[in-house]
């Protein structure tokens, strides 16, 4: 940090294992289940490598089904409560495109595949991102069942997103996504919530 800089930068980096992950050479995952299973595998590896919470997400080109940017939950290692998997994936996609809005080109649209239904923050962030379709694996209730708070959402949240021009598909490979949440719970992973007892678990 240069001497002239009083306040630190924000820097959030994907884990090394994710940079080295063997994505398909063309990064195209034509079927919805394939895209979700890839994301669920990233959530599982994030738990296995102890690089964050049991959540992953990825931005795909909604027409070609090419992976644009993956994300995993990095709240604990990056010291940033905003570093949820969805925020990480969306922001890396925006860095890749060098624009804050993914919907600039009318010929292209983008899909966010999330291993668990987004929390209230990530849900609201979708509207600013240019994402046009949300695909969810596990439900809000599945995350709450292992102790994660999901925040206060506008209900019904699906209607709220659709009013903002964002399509929604839920319960894609839900059981497989839930299995990763349960794997994290069995490992006694840190449950880092807001108000409600943020410091349970073994890592804190």
Residue choice 38, 57, 69, 181 for contact with a second copy (CB under 8 A) = 69
Residue choice 28, 32, 62, 124 for contact with a second copy (CB under 8 A) = 124
Residue partners of 84: CB distance under 8 A and separation at least 6: 55, 73, 75, 118, 119, 121, 122
Residue choice 62, 120, 170, 179 for contact with a second copy (CB under 8 A) = 120
In whole angstroms, how far apart are CA 46 and each of 24, 53, 77? 19, 7, 11
Binding pattern for the stretch 20-49 against a second copy, x by CB under 8 A and - elsewhere = x-----------------------------
Q: Which part of the chain contacts a second copy (CB under 8 A), choosing from 29-37, 108-116, 173-181, 192-200?
A: 192-200
* Shortest Cβ 96–a second copy spacing (Å): 6
DSSP state of 28: B
- Between 66 and 78, CB nearer to a second copy: 78
- Rounded to whole angstroms, how far apart are CA atoms 165 and 187? 39
Binding pattern for the stretch 97-116 against a second copy, x by CB under 8 A and - elsewhere = xxxxx-xx------------
Long-range Cβ pairs for the range 123-128 (8 Å, 24+): 123/153, 123/154, 123/157, 123/160, 123/161, 125/86, 125/87, 125/90, 126/86, 126/90, 126/161, 126/164, 126/166, 127/161, 127/164, 127/166
Contacting positions for a second copy (CB under 8 A): 4-14, 16, 18-20, 69-70, 75-76, 78-83, 87-88, 90-92, 94-101, 103-104, 119-121, 123-130, 149, 151-154, 160, 163-166, 192-195, 198-199
């Amino acid at each position: 940090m240069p001497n002239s800089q009083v306040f630190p930068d924000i820097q959030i980096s994907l884990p090394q294992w994710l940079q080295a992950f063997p994505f398909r050479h063309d990064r195209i995952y034509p079927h919805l289940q394939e895209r979700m299973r890839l994301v669920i595998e990233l959530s599982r590896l994030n738990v296995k490598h102890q690089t964050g919470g049991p959540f992953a997400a990825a931005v795909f080109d909604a027409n070609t089904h090419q992976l644009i940017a993956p994300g995993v939950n990095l709240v604990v290692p990056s010291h940033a409560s905003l570093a949820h998997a969805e925020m990480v994936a969306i922001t890396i996609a925006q860095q890749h495109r060098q624009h804050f809005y993914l919907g600039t080109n009318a010929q292209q649209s983008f899909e966010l595949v999330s291993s668990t239904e987004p929390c209230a923050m990530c849900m609201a962030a979708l509207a600013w991102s240019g994402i046009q379709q949300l695909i969810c694996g596990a439900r809000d209730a599945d995350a709450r069942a292992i102790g994660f708070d999901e925040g206060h959402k506008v209900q019904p949240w699906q209607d709220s997103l659709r009013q903002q021009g964002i399509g929604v598909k839920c319960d894609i490979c839900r059981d497989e996504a839930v299995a990763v949440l349960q794997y994290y719970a069995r490992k006694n992973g840190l449950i880092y919530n807001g108000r409600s007892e943020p410091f349970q678990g073994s890592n804190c």
